[in-house]
Amino acid sequence: MIKPHGSDALNPLFVYEQDKHHELSSEAENLPSLMLNSAAAANAVMLGAGYFNPLTGYMNVADAMSVAERMHTTDGLFWPTPVMNLTNNIEAIKGHKRIALRDPNVEGHPVLAVMDVDDIEEISEKEVNFIVEKVYRTTDAEHPGAATFNALGKYAISGSIQVLNFSYFQQDFPDTFRTAVEIRNDIAERGWKKIVAFQTRNPMHLAHEELCHMAMDRLGCDGLVIHMLLGKLKKGDIPAPVRDAAIRKMVELYFPPNSAMVTGYGFDMLYAGPREAVLHAVFRQNMGATHFIIGRDHAGVGDYYGAFDAQTIFEEEVPAGALDIEIFKADHTAWSKKLDKVVMMCEAPDHSKEDFILLSGTKVREMLSEGKAPPPEFSRPEVAKILIDYYQSL
């Protein structure tokens, strides 16, 4: 199986050993506490699950700046985006070297992790702006990722962590949330050797389904991991349980047995376009995928990124050998009226826009809200029904 990023074996930061887990949990109740923001909590979940291998905790300001500028930590590890624990309030933890990190997203705010504090640094507005501009390629306050990062806090708490739970993800998505460890184990049990991963934060329409089939066929893959983001999105995005149900129905009906796995991971969307595409590739290598589909405007939002910036970054900015996972570059896919099938638009040069069945997201939402299914060339009827039920329940 493909090696994880940066190490020979996966090193998740979740404490699996039962006695050690109990001991840490007891200790944490008497430690000074820091209430995390949602971004720092999601980072802890990803560290615990092994997706952020080989990181051992939160970055300091020097590492965050180095990663923003050149996609390497100060000691040379390739990494595309800062992994930070930022806050505005350090009163309760000032002067302490060991603290409990509490979950902002679960009632009662249980301890999410225990942290050994290396440093508490004040991060300047200039440094924040530098990170935002490099990672998000904009400082526009309207960009959801940039706006979120700007609001996280002026103090950076760095150091290693030991993770005690996976926040709300295991409870809310017991059939879908999987750690990188669990996905690697599942891949091994299924006997898959060549695996392609597909990232989604939306339900999958027919074009997405066919893109996965195309990638599997062209790469000679024996397995597909549909890996959906289960964390916070932006206003108007379809909730994870609805996406989950729609995708599972599609796989059940339109993929051969033991060819596709539906999973999810606990992270908040960054909307960082090209940089986030590279981060997504790191996740997928760590969970055991050998290939990763990157399509048009991957992890983008609005008009902040070029259509294929998330692909060209792998050629222009990711150093050779930095990652072992291979990228499957995809264009927009749509139903061709001429060919009577879904094609990549770049592979149909004799087509005009009118030769494809194209529906805007706004138009699809309008149809679903009115109880109308999109045409079968756009969406499987069984998937459309699940989405119609959701929109009509609003």
Q: Supply the residues annotated as catalytic.
A: 201-202
* Integer-rounded Cα radius of gyration of the chain: 21
CA-CA distances (angstroms) from residue 127 to 66, 159, 302, 306? 11, 19, 25, 26
CB of 292 closer than 8 Å to CB of 327: yes
Residues 6+ apart with CB under 8 A from 238: 202, 203, 387, 390
- Give CA–CA dist 320/57, Å, rounded: 26
If one counts every other C-beta atom within 10 angstroms of the C-beta of residue 222, the result is 16
- Match 């999810």 to its residue by tokens: 264
Residues 6+ apart with CB under 8 A from 77: 6, 54
Residues 6+ apart with CB under 8 A from 209: 250, 254, 380
Strand partners, 102: 35, 111
